[in-house]
Amino acid sequence: MIPIFAARWVVRGRIFTITKLDVIWLIWLGLGVANIYLAPFTRGFIMLARPLLGVIIYFTIIEVVRHEKRVNKVINYITILAIIIGLLAMSGTQWNEKSFQFEAFLNILPTLKMLPLPPEAGLSFNANEIAGAIAYVLPVMAGVAIYYWRMKLPRIGVTVAFILLFLSLFLGQSRLTIVGVLLALAVIIFMLIPRGRWQALAWVALGAVVVLQLFVVYNPASRLELAERDEGSFSGRFNIWSSALKVVGQYPLTGAGLNMFRDRRILEKFPVPGWSPSPGATRILPHTHNEVLQIATDMGIPGGVIFIAVHAAAAYLTVQTWRRGDEYAKAVSVSALAGLFAHGVFGLGDAITFWDRFAFLFWVVLGLVRGQHLLTTRFIQNL
C-alpha cells in the first residue's frame, strides 16, 4: 500500500478522506497497539494485520466514492466479490448433517477439491463461517437488484450474485444466519418496494421461503436426524459463553489479548466442557460464538463498546442518508445496513472475528454506508 499512498498524496494531496466520525478507527487501532503491550497474553503485532487491512479498505472505498462522485464503481466491485463468494460457497463449503436433505443436489455440484490445489490453500469453508460472510453482502445485492429492476437498469450481475448467495445459504442451513437474512430482506421489501402488486409478490415469495425453511427444519425426518445435534449445539454455546464471560470478568479493561480466546493457556485457565486444551488436541475452539463477547475477550469492555457504537453510528448515518438521498442512495444505504444487521443476527450465536479471513467484508459494507452518506449529504465538496 505504501506506493499507492504515495501516489495518492502526489496526485490528490491526501492519503485518506477522514472525518471526525472516522477517527474512531484510528482510536481503535491505537487500542489494539496498547492491547499488545498491556493484555496478559499476546501474539504480537501480526494480529493487527487483518484489522489494519480492513481500515485501509474502509477508507479506500470512501476515497473512491469521493473521487468518482458516485458509488456505482464500488457497487460493481462488491457485485463481483459477491459472485466470487457465492461460487466459493457452492464449491467449497464443508456440507454437514444439516444439509442431508439436499444430498442428491450437493453430489452433482463441482467442488474445489477437483482443482490441483494444496491443502494449505484454505479454500474450504465451515458452513457457518461462509454463511456469516454471505450475510454481509446478500442484502446489499438484494437492495441494489430491486432498484435496478425498478429502474430497468442492467441487473444481470446483481441478480446472479443474489441467487448464488441465497442458494448457498439455504443449502448450508446455518439457521441463525437464515433468520437474520430473512429479517433483513423483510426490511428491504418494506423500505424499498412501493406498496402495490410488486411488494405483495415480494411478500409472497418471502413467505414461501419461510414456509420451505420451516419444512426443512421441522419435517419428521430432519427432526429425528438433527434433534440431538441441535441440543448439543445449544448447550455447547452456553458453556462457551460462560467461559468467555469469566475471561471478561478477569480482564475487563484489556481482555485476554487479541485473538487469544482460542489459545491453550486460556482454555486451561477458563475451561470449556468438551474442548480439550491439551497440546495434541485435534479440535480447537476458534472463538466465543458471539461477536460482542469475542471483541470483549479480545480487547476488553472498551473494545466491545466501540464495536457496538460503530453499528449504532452506521444506523445513524443510514437514517441521514434516507432523509436526504434520492432513491438510489436510499437503496444502497438501507441494503448495506441490512447486511450489517443480518450478520449481527448471525453474530448472536457465531462469529467472524476481526482476525478471520472474511473479516474484511465488515469493512467493505461499513465503507459503503459511510461513502454513500458522505456523497448524499454533500460533505465531500467541503472536505
Q: What is the count of structural domains for the chain?
A: 1
Q: Which cell is 133 given?
A: 460472510
| Sign of torsion over alpha carbons 315, 316, 319, 321 | negative
**What confidence tens digit (pLDDT) does each residue in 271-314 have?**
888 776 655 555 678 889 999 999 999 999 999 999 998 999 99
pLDDT in the model for residue 114: 63
Range of the domain at 243: 25-112+124-382
pLDDT in the model for residue 383: 44
**What confidence tens digit (pLDDT) does each residue in 30-83 have?**
889 999 999 999 988 998 898 889 989 999 999 899 888 899 999 999 999 999
**Does residue 251 sit within a domain?**
yes
Q: Judge whether 63 and 16 are in contact, CB under 8 Å.
A: yes
pLDDT in the model for residue 382: 45
- Between 107-111, 256-260, 362-366, the lowest mean confidence (pLDDT) is in 107-111
Report the percentage of the chain scoring pLDDT > 70. Answer: 90
Q: Judge whether 165 and 131 are in contact, CB under 8 Å.
A: no
**Does residue 7 sit within a domain?**
no
The b/e string for 118-140 (b: 16+ C-beta within 10 A; e otherwise) is eeeeeebbebbbbbbbbbbbbbb
**What confidence tens digit (pLDDT) does each residue in 354-363 have?**
888 899 999 9
Residue 126 carries which DSSP code?
A: E
**Does residue 176 sit within a domain?**
yes
**What confidence tens digit (pLDDT) does each residue in 198-225 have?**
999 999 999 999 999 998 888 766 655 5
pLDDT in the model for residue 381: 44
**Does residue 20 sit within a domain?**
no
**What confidence tens digit (pLDDT) does each residue in 132-179 have?**
999 999 999 999 999 999 999 988 999 999 999 999 999 999 999 999
Q: What are the φ and ψ backbone dihedral angles of 343, each rounded to 5 degrees?
A: -70, -35
Burial of 57 (0-12, 13-18, 19+ CB in 10 A): middle
Residue 5 carries which DSSP code?
A: H
pLDDT in the model for residue 340: 96
pLDDT in the model for residue 28: 83
**Does residue 1 sit within a domain?**
no
**Does residue 5 sit within a domain?**
no
Contacts of 182 (CB under 8 A, 6+ apart): 206, 209, 210, 213
**Does residue 366 sit within a domain?**
yes
**Does residue 189 sit within a domain?**
yes
Residue bearing cell 499476546: 42
Query: Cα–chain-centroid distance for residue 304?
Result: 17
What is the H or E stretch that residue 93 is in?
A: strand 93-94
What is the H or E stretch that residue 94 is in?
A: strand 93-94
